[in-house]
Structure 1
Amino acid sequence: MKHDTCRRRTGCRRAGLYPAVVIAVAGAMSAATFAADRDDALAEMTGAFNGWRHSGLTNEGERFVAAYPRPPVDRGAQRFRTLIEGRLKHVDRSGRKPPTLVVNGNATPLYTDDEGAFARPWAFGAGSNSIEIVSPDGQHRQRMQFFEADRSRPQAKLRAIVTWNDPKAQVDLHVITPDGLHAFWANPTLEDGSGFDVDSVDGAGPGIFSSAAPEHGTWLFFLNYWGNFDSTGYNFDAKAHEREVITAQLILVFNENTPAEKRETMTVPLRKIGDLMLIKSERL
């Protein structure tokens, strides 16, 4: 698969600073307070992720934040994105396994900078949501639950989420609809209203594709190990990653945040730059 490297890099420079939403909370303490008041908390959260909130994306109160390895490069084009931001209280620089960030049951490695700071973009649906941080050994957990009260956003009936376990690798999700529409990094939104809410390049993703009204027929989901990425940008050095075999995970979520929610999880190995794999053919 041929990609236009210059065009891709230009797009990333434009998206290099990610506007985080300042969140209003009513009737509950903020997650930052929640974390600070507990000695066993794994992290202090900057945003408010407990109780009730309304986080519609507006032009008011937007701000830029630092992340790993620099402000997140997010190519997502849909409106409803939120930054999960905070700082680990303890950073084990000798350990090879990072903590795990689990969002609504979707797990991804939580890579940080040297001071333990992290920032991960995510797309939350209306209704009940959860964020959990799990220590590398799995013995300690910090969980935050909140109810997203913004009912103006479309509720995703199909969501595809890709994450991977190498902070220096860049893995792309490609989605083909039953009508032959193709959503990927250079075409993040489709004519039917579906598209990428989040398409995070740095760290371990995520890439999140959403559709509020998926058409009937066969959907195709591909993963492409496109190249590597670090603080200097993209590169195609075959050795410029951390793991011999990169483990990528594709999660399909149907009717998210409803009693009818279902999910499928597929895990695949990616060994070399250029690997392109059909991960799932799903008939709806």
Structure 2
Amino acid sequence: MIKFYQKRLIVCIAGSLLAGFHLIASADATIELPRGGWRNSGGEASGFKQPVHYPASSVNTEGQSEMALIRGRISTSNKKKPGKLIVNGAAMPLAIGETGEFSRPYSFSSGSNNVEVRSPDGSEVKRVQFYDTNASHPNPRLRVVLSWDSDGTDLDLHVVSPDGQHVFYGNRVVDNGGALDVDVTTGYGPEIYASTAPPKGTYHVYVNYYGSGGDDKKLTIARVAIISQEGTLAEKQQSFQVPMRKPGELTLVKSFTYP
């Protein structure tokens, strides 16, 4: 009789451990889009500029094809902090909804692409790699990515190209093809400037601390990543961090020469 109870206890313990393992495994982050493997984005409308609605509540993905979306779910309960999104080596914050969902438009390059998402505490990680065979797709040869570390704040990215074209939230697409994807007014970002055929010469990247939701003493750290020749052997990434101390502050983060 004692051996029977011992055996039953062992079975119960093993069952509990397996159940716990299943819960842990099922709690992993998921990426619905993009899907891994090979694909061809030919014929798909995947424009870079995204619609903006005011008052803005989050980055929206209205009207975007599946070829221009990053979408999935993170089960971690703490949604007060952003997750992390890493696209082709460029890290940026990832806003997470109340039920763990996330959705982000992104203009991917043809060729190889890597997407990784992480939960705020780093316990959940999911990676996807895919290859876009659409050689006719115009790849951004210059990206500038602005993100920041606080919620409820509004930082704005300003990029002035060598020909004097000024891209910002009030002028999101210019004649030389440069464009700002979306104006994020609710914290974290990212805001992404991209150009498929950047004019040669000197660029100036500014960050403006537009507002802080009433807390004028709220310090936020801006992070700017500059990526040139993405997806090629000549790819170069630089990143800079700048403290933004009060609304109204305008800071020149970097002047650089392309190419």
Same fold (TM over 0.5): yes
Indicate how the Cα distance of structure 1 residues 214 and 183 shifts in structure 2: closer, same or farther if over 3 A, else same: same
Q: Does 1:58 align with 2:45?
A: yes
Kindly state the Cα deviation for residue 116 of structure 1 after the two structures are TM-superposed. 0.9
Structure 2 counterpart of 1:159, from 138, 143, 146: 143
Indicate how the Cα distance of structure 1 residues 213 and 204 shifts in structure 2: closer, same or farther if over 3 A, else same: same
Aligned partner of residue 42 in structure 1, secondary structure:
coil
Distance 1:208 1:133 in 2: 18
Kindly state the Cα deviation for residue 46 of structure 1 after the two structures are TM-superposed. 2.9
Match of 1:237 in 2: 214
Distance 1:208 1:81 in 2: 17
**Partner amino acid for 1:249?**
R
Distance 1:184 1:91 in 2: 35
Kindly state the Cα deviation for residue 216 of structure 1 after the two structures are TM-superposed. 2.1
Q: Does 1:87 align with 2:77?
A: no
Kept after mapping to 2: 8 A contact 1:164/1:247: yes
Kindly state the Cα deviation for residue 159 of structure 1 after the two structures are TM-superposed. 1.1
Aligned partner of residue 171 in structure 2, secondary structure:
coil
Match of 2:238 in 1: 264
Kindly state the Cα deviation for residue 147 of structure 1 after the two structures are TM-superposed. 1.3
Distance 2:156 2:61 in 1: 12
Match of 1:252 in 2: 226
Q: Which has the higher helix share?
A: 2
Aligned partner of residue 189 in structure 1, secondary structure:
coil
Distance 1:102 1:275 in 2: 28
Distance 2:200 2:132 in 1: 28
Q: Which has the larger radius of gyration?
A: 2
Match of 1:33 in 2: none
Q: Which runs of 5+ in 2 are unaligned?
A: 1-23
TM-score, L = length of structure 1? 0.69
**Partner amino acid for 2:204?**
L
Distance 2:60 2:210 in 1: 15
Structure 2 counterpart of 1:211, from 195, 198, 204: 195
Match of 1:145 in 2: 129
Match of 1:8 in 2: none
Distance 1:208 1:153 in 2: 19
Structure 1 counterpart of 2:88, from 83, 89, 104: 104
Kept after mapping to 1: 8 A contact 2:115/2:127: yes
Deviation track 1:159-208 (CA, whole Å, cap 9, x = no partner) reads 11111122311211111111211111111111112222444444522211
Match of 1:19 in 2: none
Kindly state the Cα deviation for residue 106 of structure 1 after the two structures are TM-superposed. 1.6
TM-score, L = length of structure 2? 0.75
**Partner amino acid for 2:256?**
E
Distance 2:67 2:168 in 1: 17
The percent identity for this pair of structures is 37
